[in-house]
């Protein structure tokens, strides 16, 4: 028989759906620095550069959604004032009857991450793409407007809170996926936990960065990176800023099997380079990375930051309780850990512990 | 299996792209015309192997000043693993066969043309770029309204079950339109015999497949028997793949051929045809959204069991069969090779008798298919989850009984005046004797050696 002879046939397991959480750094300060000019004069340049990048990201997201009918995206815009989940859009809780908002939010979140059976089946691709475009453009506008205040406009982007939101979304998507698969096989909910291990979850995070690391977010960044590692979620980063790399996201990429890339020759006058990186490198899903070689960084700076001064340190002290690291100037002779308030035995300060 | 051979143009487990490549071999313009539709391009893109899709996205926004990559460059981007190379070869093969990758770009200077360079099919690339840059209107003009997905599901399930029921019963012809029957005969699931339409061995195979595989076989048979190599029909199929289930679409915008196809799809439960509008069912959208992915993911199993009916079977060592089911289709399927005794509200009791199994075997169903079906639906409480060994052995023996008589073409030699002994010994040496009766001087030799024997007889002057 000529059965099974068709080379067009694809096994469902070889072609899983994918969830992408895109985090776009929209902090004005970073965007102004990316262009490398003075803040006051180039605000408009920064905004138009952001728009150019957004356009390309939308094309990239559309391509991503076209790759598989069950692919889903979430978009988080991270400004200097706050990070906002701009897509999927949730209905305004004010308009809903009390107690009902949680149900609606759950349903739309499930729909967004693509695993709720009904929404998943009758999703309208055209509508989804249109909504996505509108939501992202609106989200960026809102973010820019809220950064106009002089106090916020000089702060770093809230990238770690965006990362935490992304991980929450993906964790939820993973739960729903596991439950549905377990129920489809007619198994009890008790078996889910064991089932969890054999399940391949195909979610990932892409951060589009415009600025340098925010030292005050070091602890939360590291926590996010380790959660992502545990969840099996790669954190990809696309660094648009010239010259300076983000050591946090380089470490994130290394620890989570992600990709960290700084598009060569990217500038507002030559935005096509970004497009090429998006469509070649960042479009590749977790499964296909087993087959396609991904760019690897030459050297990753794994040095820790001091929890007090926020500087990157070569040598320092570490708290024996919470493992926080401190610069020598901070840690030497300290009676109490500044982070967890653990009291150290004063009698022998040199024995406390020291670490490179 | 003559019925299966006849249908070789439609192998049961192939995909629609096998048909398309088949058709485009004789009609090279088919793919060019198909790629004019952005929806067809989207569907084809989605149905490519995963690696092939990534190759397409790479080339989609290639800057103009950059040189066109070669196949070698694509190969170099792979990890050094055999599996990666296999995927790469499969991807390139699919891309070439569907002419998404072309080596002869139209409109480019012929002197620049280098066969190792890869160029996307210009129309395909143009329509795909339009698709991802939000410049394509919604399919079928957007449509309006929506229906309860449960209604759509039950419609689709009813349709499929009535076709499956028809296959196992073959009694009430009225319920199935003749177009579908012709299509079923065309792919060799049904066979016209003296006693009427009968299910074939391939047909039994068909019954055991999952819902989406069954629907694809039906759809492909409808396409190849009624709309072979028809661009409008293919475009419509791919358009349905990117449509929204339950939405009411206007039928008047479709061409006459497409309206005809919609009517056939209505019978398959893929679309619901109303007066001036049509809706695509959930099953239909899921089926057409990806033409190449085999379903049977754990989450896809639910619709299958709902539509085809669940059955759990106990088989005892005394050949008694207890089947827990409420599905008429499953009872009919079981009755193809079981002598049915009682029917209770949620259970049927039958007996695997020699006569019943022989009847099935004569219809071309094989023993392995019967045993496979019973094992696949064995009740979880059954020992080892398989039917007793003595039962499966007996079914195999009944099948072997069928082969007691073997037929071989032969030639009878008789009425020898003399020399029978020498002819017989010569034929024995040739291993050509099928039967001989020395006392009556009669001999049968196989047909393909008859010429040699004849020559021997002539040469040695025997009458």
Contact B81 A283 (CB under 8 A): no
The 3-state DSSP class for residue B253 equals coil
Residue spans of the domains in chain A: they are: 16-290, 316-355
The 3-state DSSP class for residue B322 equals strand
Q: What is the pLDDT of residues A46-95, one digit of tens each?
A: 888 888 889 999 999 999 988 888 788 899 999 888 888 888 877 666 66
Closest chain B residue to A185, measured at CA: B298
Residue entry with tokens 């790399």: A245
Q: Quick one: CA dihedral A181, A185, A186, A189, positive or negative?
A: negative
For residue A225, give the nearest of A261, A250, A189 by alpha carbon. A250
Contact A293 B77 (CB under 8 A): yes
Q: What is the pLDDT of residues B378-389, one digit of tens each?
A: 887 777 778 898
Residues of B in contact with A7 (CB under 8 A): 90, 93-94
Q: What is the pLDDT of residues B158-210, one digit of tens each?
A: 888 788 888 877 555 566 777 888 888 887 777 777 767 777 777 777 877 77
Structure tokens at A88: 């999927």
Contact B12 A279 (CB under 8 A): no
The 3-state DSSP class for residue B168 equals helix
Chain A nearest-CA distance from B81, in A, is 8
The 3-state DSSP class for residue B193 equals strand
The shortest CB-CB distance from B132 to any of A2, A11, A62 is to A62
Q: What is the pLDDT of residues A175-192, one digit of tens each?
A: 777 776 666 555 555 566
Instruction: Report how far residue B404's alpha carbon sits from residue A58's, in angstroms, rounded to the nearest whole number.
Output: 70
DSSP-based helix, strand, coil % in chain A, nearest 5: 45, 15, 40
Tell me, what's the pLDDT at A116?
43
Inter-chain CB pairs, A–B, below 8 Å: 163
Tell me, what's the pLDDT at A163?
93
For residue B164, give the nearest of B178, B140, B180 by alpha carbon. B180
Q: Where are the alpha helices (DSSP H) in A257-346?
A: 272-277, 328-331
Instruction: Report how far residue A314's alpha carbon sits from residue A318's, in angstroms, rounded to the nearest whole number.
Output: 12
**Which tops the pLDDT comparison, A201 or A231?**
A231
What does the pLDDT average to over B126-144?
85
The 3-state DSSP class for residue A45 equals helix
Q: Where are the alpha helices (DSSP H) in B313-447?
A: 328-335, 354-362, 367-376, 389-402, 420-430
The shortest CB-CB distance from A288 to any of B51, B62, B136 is to B51
Q: What is the pLDDT of residues A307-337, one digit of tens each?
A: 777 778 888 888 887 778 888 887 777 788 8
Instruction: Check if A13 contacts B (Cβ < 8 Å).
Output: yes
Instruction: Report how far residue A14's alpha carbon sits from residue A19's, in angstroms, rounded to the nearest whole number.
Output: 16
Instruction: Report how far residue B201's alpha carbon sits from residue B190's, in angstroms, rounded to the nearest whole number.
Output: 9
On average, the pLDDT of chain B sits at 81
Q: What is the pLDDT of residues B308-346, one digit of tens each?
A: 567 888 999 999 999 998 877 788 888 888 999 998 988
Closest chain B residue to A119, measured at CA: B149
Collect all residues with Cβ–Cβ distance below 8 Å to A172 and sequence separation of at least 6: A109, A110, A113
Quickly count: other Cβ atoms within 10 Å of residue A116's Cβ: 18
Tell me, what's the pLDDT at B74?
84
Contact B299 A2 (CB under 8 A): no
Judge contact between B393 and B368, C-beta under 8 A.
Answer: no
Tell me, what's the pLDDT at B117?
75
Q: What is the pTM of this model?
A: 0.78
Instruction: Check if A3 contacts B (Cβ < 8 Å).
Output: yes
In b/e form, how buried is each residue of B24-62, taking b as 16+ CB within 10 angstroms?
Answer: beeeeebbbbbbebbbbbbbbbbbbbbbbbbbbbbbbbb
Peptide bond into A163 cis (omega under 30): no
Domain spanning A16-290: CATH superfamily: von Willebrand factor, type A domain (3.40.50.410)
Quickly count: other Cβ atoms within 10 Å of residue A242's Cβ: 12
Instruction: Check if A198 contacts B (Cβ < 8 Å).
Output: no
Contact B46 A123 (CB under 8 A): no
Structure tokens at B260: 């005809």
Residues of A in contact with B43 (CB under 8 A): none
Q: What is the pLDDT of residues A106-158, one digit of tens each?
A: 666 666 655 444 444 456 778 888 888 999 999 999 988 888 776 666 677 88
Chain A interface, mutation test: which of B93, B246, B294, B379, most A Cβ atoms within 10 Å? B294
Confidence class for position B3, pLDDT limits 50, 70, 90? very low
Chain A interface, mutation test: which of B79, B298, B305, B369, most A Cβ atoms within 10 Å? B298
Confidence class for position B101, pLDDT limits 50, 70, 90? confident
H-helix or E-strand containing B234?
helix B231-241
């Amino acid at each position: 028989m000529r059965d099974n002879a068709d080379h067009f046939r694809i096994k469902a397991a070889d072609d899983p759906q994918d969830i992408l959480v895109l985090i776009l750094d929209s902090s004005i300060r970073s965007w102004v620095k990316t262009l490398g000019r003075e803040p006051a004069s180039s605000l408009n340049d920064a905004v138009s550069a952001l728009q150019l990048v957004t356009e390309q990201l939308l094309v990239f997201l559309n391509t991503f959604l076209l790759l598989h009918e069950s692919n889903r995206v979430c978009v988080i815009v991270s400004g200097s004032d706050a990070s906002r989940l701009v897509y999927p859009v949730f209905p305004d809780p004010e308009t809903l009857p009390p107690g009902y908002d949680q149900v609606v939010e759950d349903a739309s979140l499930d729909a967004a991450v693509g695993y709720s059976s009904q929404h998943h089946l009758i999703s309208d691709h055209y509508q989804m793409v249109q909504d996505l475009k509108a939501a992202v453009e609106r989200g960026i506008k809102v973010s820019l407007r809220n950064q106009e205040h002089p106090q916020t406009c000089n702060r770093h982007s809230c990238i770690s809170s965006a990362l935490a939101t992304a991980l929450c979304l993906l964790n939820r998507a993973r739960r729903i996926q596991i439950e549905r698969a377990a129920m489809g096989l007619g198994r009890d909910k008790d078996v889910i936990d064991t089932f969890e291990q054999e399940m391949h979850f195909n979610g990932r995070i892409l951060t589009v960065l415009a600025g340098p690391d925010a030292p005050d977010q070091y602890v939360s960044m590291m926590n996010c990176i380790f959660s992502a590692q545990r969840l099996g979620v790669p954190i990809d980063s696309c660094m648009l800023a010239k010259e300076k790399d983000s050591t946090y996201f380089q470490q994130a990429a290394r620890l989570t099997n992600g990709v960290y890339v700084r598009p060569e020759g990217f500038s507002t006058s030559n935005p096509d380079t970004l497009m090429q990186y998006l469509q070649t490198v960042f479009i590749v899903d977790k499964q296909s990375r087993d087959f396609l070689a991904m760019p690897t960084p030459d050297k990753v700076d794994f040095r820790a930051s001091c929890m007090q001064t926020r500087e990157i340190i070569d040598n320092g002290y570490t708290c024996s309780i919470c493992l926080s690291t401190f610069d020598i100037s901070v840690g030497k002779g300290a009676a109490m850990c500044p982070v967890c308030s653990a009291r150290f035995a004063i009698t022998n300060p040199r024995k406390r512990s020291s670490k490179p | 299996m003559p019925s299966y051979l006849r249908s070789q143009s439609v192998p049961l487990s192939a995909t629609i792209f096998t048909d398309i490549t088949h058709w485009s071999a004789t009609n090279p313009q088919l793919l060019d015309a198909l790629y004019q539709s952005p929806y067809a391009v989207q569907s084809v893109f989605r149905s490519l192997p995963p690696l092939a899709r990534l190759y397409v996205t790479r080339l989609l926004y290639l800057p103009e000043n950059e040189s066109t990559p070669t196949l070698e460059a694509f190969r170099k981007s792979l990890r050094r693993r055999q599996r990666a190379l296999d995927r790469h070869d499969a991807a390139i093969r699919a891309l070439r066969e569907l002419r998404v990758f072309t080596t002869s770009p139209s409109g480019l200077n012929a002197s620049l043309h280098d066969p190792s360079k890869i160029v996307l099919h210009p129309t395909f690339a143009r329509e795909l770029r339009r698709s991802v840059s939000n410049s394509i209107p919604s399919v079928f003009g957007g449509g309006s309204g929506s229906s309860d997905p449960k209604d759509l599901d039950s419609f689709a399930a009813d349709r499929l079950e009535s076709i499956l029921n028809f296959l196992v019963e073959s009694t009430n012809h009225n319920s199935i339109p003749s177009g579908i029957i012709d299509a079923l005969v065309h792919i060799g699931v049904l066979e016209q015999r003296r006693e009427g339409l009968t299910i074939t061995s391939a047909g039994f195979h068909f019954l055991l497949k999952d819902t989406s595989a069954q629907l694809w076989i039906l759809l492909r048979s409808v396409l190849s028997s009624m709309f072979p190599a028809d661009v409008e029909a293919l475009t419509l199929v791919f358009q349905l793949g990117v449509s929204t289930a339950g939405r009411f679409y206007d039928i008047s915008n479709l061409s006459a051929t497409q309206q005809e196809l919609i009517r056939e799809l209505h019978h398959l439960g893929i679309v619901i045809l109303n007066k001036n509008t049509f809706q695509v069912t959930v099953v239909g959208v899921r089926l057409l959204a990806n033409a190449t992915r085999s379903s049977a993911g754990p989450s896809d199993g639910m619709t299958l069991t709902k539509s085809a009916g669940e059955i759990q079977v106990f088989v005892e060592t005394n050949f008694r069969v207890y089947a827990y089911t409420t599905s008429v289709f499953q009872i009919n399927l079981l009755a193809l090779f079981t002598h049915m005794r009682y029917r209770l509200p949620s259970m049927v009791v039958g007996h695997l008798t020699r006569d019943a199994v022989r009847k099935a075997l004569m219809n071309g169903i094989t023993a392995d298919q019967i045993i496979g079906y019973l094992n696949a639906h064995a009740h979880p409480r059954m020992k080892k989850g398989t039917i007793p060994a003595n039962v499966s052995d007996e079914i195999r023996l009944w099948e072997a009984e069928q082969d007691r008589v073997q037929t071989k073409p032969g030639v009878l030699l008789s009425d020898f005046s003399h020399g029978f002994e020498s002819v017989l010994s010569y034929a024995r040496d040739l291993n050509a004797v099928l039967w001989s009766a020395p006392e009556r001087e009669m001999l049968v030799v196989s047909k393909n050696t008859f010429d040699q024997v004849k020559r021997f007889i002539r040469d040695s002057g025997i009458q």
